Amino acid sequence: MLVETKALSDDLPAANTRLAPGLYLVATPIGNLEDISLRALRVMRSADRIACEDTRQTGKLLTHYGITTPTVSYHLHNERGRAEELVAQLREGARIAVVSDAGTPGIADPGEAIVRAAVEAGIPVFAIPGANAVLTALAASGLSAERFAFRGFLPSKAGERRSALEQALAETRTAAISATQIFYETPHRITEALADVAAVFGPAHPIVLARELTKLHEEFLRGTVAEVQAILAARDTVRGEMVLLLSGDVAAEAAATQTLATAVRARMAAGDDEKDALKHVARERGMGKSEAYREWQRTRGKA
């Protein structure tokens, strides 16, 4: 279905006029409360209601800016049902703002379902741009921003995480122009995630870990995987929100990096039986026998 939407500029109300009816996706700060646009504040102030991922979390922002617009919850668990309700109100001419806890709604956050429902209902959708962790991290990373692939959160299960990284590597290798690979990650999984990045991309691969963006303890850890691993290992705890960026430049590194399956197959081709080949490769990589066995089972059929 082709739906025409009006040019945004036609709908842009002057500062003191009423908002045009429709759905407003409003980006909010990812840390520093100053990172919000004048327009975002005006939209939240003038909307009929604000649909929030967490009304208490957004309440802090609204209190900070003296905004008293009524709020309603809109999160992953009630997204579909609430989208229907909100669209019914939008059909009657409501002005509804949608915000997530931080950053841009719809980017690894609720938002997509309501946008889709509004678009299908022919309701105007306005994006009010602002903070986003991916772009903030990329802009200051020092890695190429010419092309990048945002891949959301790395999976929490080890096997799935390795597969996601292997897919990222494979796509990067075959792309005409390599893309910086970007993931969201959590502090309690970052150590395991970096071990997997080292296994798939190689310990010398350039990466950036962007932590606590726009906040008091913001930092960019730039270096090889092994260097960033060493920095984190030297700390008592690893805290904070983080974005993991992997250089898309895999040409040299990829040649030097062999997957476990390739290494096992190479030894078998050279005469080892499967058990000996696996034992040898596990020892070489500092892996436990059962971990290596699981990895072999998972990847043996792959190229």
CB of 210 to ligand SAM, least distance (A): 6
CA atoms of 133 and 184, how far apart (whole Å): 9
Place of tokens 């994006």: 127
- The residue within the footprint of ligand SAM, chosen from 210, 225, 228, 250 (CB under 6 A), is 210
- The residue within the footprint of ligand SAM, chosen from 148, 150, 184, 201 (CB under 6 A), is 184
- Considering only the stretches 54-62, 78-86, 104-112, 251-259, report the one whose residues sit in contact with ligand SAM under the rule CB under 6 A: 104-112
104 binds ligand SAM (CB under 6 A): yes
206 binds ligand SAM (CB under 6 A): no
- The residue within the footprint of ligand SAM, chosen from 79, 109, 192, 249 (CB under 6 A), is 109
CA atoms of 288 and 266, how far apart (whole Å): 20
What are 115's two structure tokens? 């946008």
181 binds ligand SAM (CB under 6 A): no
What are 52's two structure tokens? 């929030």
If DSSP codes are grouped into helix, strand and coil, which group holds residue 120? helix
Percent of the chain that is helix, strand, coil (3-state, to 5): 45, 15, 40
Looking at residue 18, the DSSP 8-state letter turns out to be P
- The residue within the footprint of ligand SAM, chosen from 133, 193, 246, 282 (CB under 6 A), is 133
85 binds ligand SAM (CB under 6 A): no
- The residue within the footprint of ligand SAM, chosen from 69, 214, 258, 259 (CB under 6 A), is 214
Query: Closest CB to ligand SAM among 121 and 221?
Result: 221
161-180: contacts with ligand SAM (CB under 6 A): none
- The residue within the footprint of ligand SAM, chosen from 35, 166, 196, 241 (CB under 6 A), is 241
Which residue sits closest to ligand SAM, CB atoms considered?
A: 103
Nearest to 109 by CA among 117, 118, 124, 99: 99
132 binds ligand SAM (CB under 6 A): yes
22-51: contacts with ligand SAM (CB under 6 A): 30-31
Q: What is the dihedral of CA 294, 297, 301, 303, to 10 degrees?
A: 20
If DSSP codes are grouped into helix, strand and coil, which group holds residue 1? coil
115 binds ligand SAM (CB under 6 A): no
Q: What is the dihedral of CA 214, 219, 220, 221, to 10 degrees?
A: -160
Query: Closest CB to ligand SAM among 104 and 172?
Result: 104
If DSSP codes are grouped into helix, strand and coil, which group holds residue 20? coil
If DSSP codes are grouped into helix, strand and coil, which group holds residue 65? coil
Query: Closest CB to ligand SAM among 135 and 198?
Result: 135
Q: With both helix axes pointing from N to C terminus, report the angle between 289-299 and 260-269 in degrees, rounded to the nearest 10.
A: 90
CB of 146 to ligand SAM, least distance (A): 21
| Strand 180-185 versus strand 242-246 pairing type | antiparallel
What are 94's two structure tokens? 């409501």
79 binds ligand SAM (CB under 6 A): no
Whether 116 and 25 have beta carbons less than 8 Å apart is answered as: no
264 binds ligand SAM (CB under 6 A): no
Query: Closest CB to ligand SAM among 59 and 187?
Result: 187
Positions in the binding site for ligand SAM (CB under 6 A): 30-31, 100, 102-104, 107-109, 132-134, 184-186, 210, 212-215, 241-243
